[in-house]
Amino acid sequence: MSATQCTASGYALKVPQLPRPRRFTRSAPERDGGMVPAEVDAPRVEVTEAAGLRWINVECPRTVERAWLEEHFDFDPLDYEDVFSRNQRPKIDEYPEYLFIVLHFPRFDKTVGRLNAVELDLFLGPDFLVTLPNDHIEPLEYLFERVRTAEAQREALFAKGSGYLLYKLVDDCVDASFPMLRKMGNKLERLEDAIFEGESEKIVRDLSDAKQEIINFRKIVRPQRTALRDLERTRRHVPEDLDIYFDDINDASERIWDMLENFKEVIEGLESTNESVLSHRVNDVLRVLTAFSVIVLPLTLIASAAGMNVLFPGEGTEAGFWVIVGVMATVLVGMVTYFRRRGWL
């Protein structure tokens, strides 16, 4: 084989030139454009095709699906390793016969209540698109089901080529982030209202959860921006007239990043404001306690002096008792009045 120059995430690699992928063959009958497994352990492979273009979708690929792909396609073994690896960054590898693309998209996992990254691996050729998500991606599932069941729409979409199908898929997955961001923005607004409604102590955990969501979202979007720019620049199996479409994806990705930057500043500001409110409330409590202690101090002093075992005028008389009580009441009223005028109470 002759060596070919391959560009992957900005690094130049030497890879062997691969033969053209073999034609797809079915080991089980098709119905409505989808694969019907011949047995329980058969590969879970879905396929739909039209206008000479085939879309193969394998969700959560297992060892049996890898064996099926290796039987029907001559993809590089390193790409298969990347598909089954859990630590891949978004990237694009260019080969003479196909593109290998790794992308990440956010997905809110309701079972654990947190935002996670879903990896989508794609193989793009002149007449095929293979998608291998490692978990459910609703935009992908919706688009696949739509083209599988609607023949006219499938014909119209597939007639534009594999590059346009790739654009449509990636665009839908990127746009799915905006509803998540809107919910995140609404949550930040509710937290801001709660702070000034006296619920600062109750929302400390909510602020922490919101901050963690923003951090996880940023970790997903940051490395993908470079991969999407590389996808716009590639010319292999992506016609030049699609530049404007992939540029639109880049614009959407940058808007998502700008919103996350704004949310990051907002959550940091809310945390600071909440800490200030809590600190101000503690200071109020300390101020009242300090004022109470200062008021009680002279009264305690008078009572202690009156209780000493020494002779003083009026000792042992009822009049002496009421004089001491009157002095203490006068001191109490005077100090409370003074503290109120100074704004300490």
Computed over its alpha carbons, how large is the radius of gyration of the chain?
35
Give the position of tokens 């006219």: 152
Domain 1-160 has CATH 3.30.460.20: yes
Res 309: pLDDT: 67
CA dist., res. 71 & res. 284, Å (int):
74
Q: Is the pLDDT of residue 84 over 90?
A: no
* Amino acid found at 300: T
pLDDT attached to residue 332: 85
User: Span 36-61, mean pLDDT?
Assistant: 80
pTM of the model: 0.72
pLDDT at residue 257, rounded to an integer = 95
Which structure tokens are listed for 341? 């005028």
pLDDT digits (tens, 9 = 90+) for 217-234: 999 999 999 899 888 887
**Using one digit for the tens of pLDDT, what is the confidence trace for 251-264?**
999 999 999 999 99
Angle subtended at Cα 20 by Cα 17 and Cα 24, rounded to the nearest 5 degrees: 145
Q: Is 324 left (phi over 0), alpha (psi -120 to 50) or beta?
A: alpha
Which is it for strands 114-124 and 128-133: parallel, antiparallel or unpaired? antiparallel
Identify the residue with better confidence: 20 or 162.
Answer: 162
Max avg pLDDT among 120-124, 287-291, 316-320: 120-124
Q: Which two tokens stand for residue 73?
A: 């396609």
Q: Write the CA distances from 61 to 25, 56, 113, 147, 327, integer angstroms.
A: 18, 12, 25, 22, 88
Contacting residues for 296 by C-beta, under 8 A, at least 6 apart = none
Span 22-48, average pLDDT: 56
In tens, the pLDDT along 271-313 reads 888 888 888 788 878 878 888 888 888 888 877 777 776 666 7
Asked if 164 and 245 touch (Cβ cutoff 8 Å), the reply is yes
pLDDT for 121 equals 93
d(CA 77, CA 81): 6
In terms of phi and psi (left: phi > 0; alpha: psi -120 to 50; beta: otherwise), the region of 33 is left
Domain spans of the chain, in order of start? 1-160, 284-341
Q: How many other C-beta atoms lie within 10 A of the C-beta of residue 257?
A: 16
| Beta-carbon contacts of residue 210 (< 8 Å; ≥ 6 apart) | 184, 187, 188, 191, 267
With 60 as the cut, is the pLDDT of residue 16 above it? no
Worst-scoring range by mean pLDDT, 5-9, 90-94, 134-138? 5-9
pLDDT at 12: 34
Angle at 275 between CA 274 and CA 280, to 5 degrees: 100
Determine the pLDDT at residue 217. Answer: 93
Closest CA to 93 of 102, 84, 81: 102
Provide the pairing of β-strand 53-57 with 91-94.
unpaired
- pLDDT: is 14 or 321 the higher one? 321
Alpha-carbon distance of 66 to 72, in angstroms, equals 10
The one-letter amino acid at 35:
M
Copy the structure tokens of residue 118. 């879903």
In this prediction, residue 14 carries a pLDDT of 33
- Report the candidate in 186, 249, 258 with the shortest Cα–Cα distance to residue 222: 258
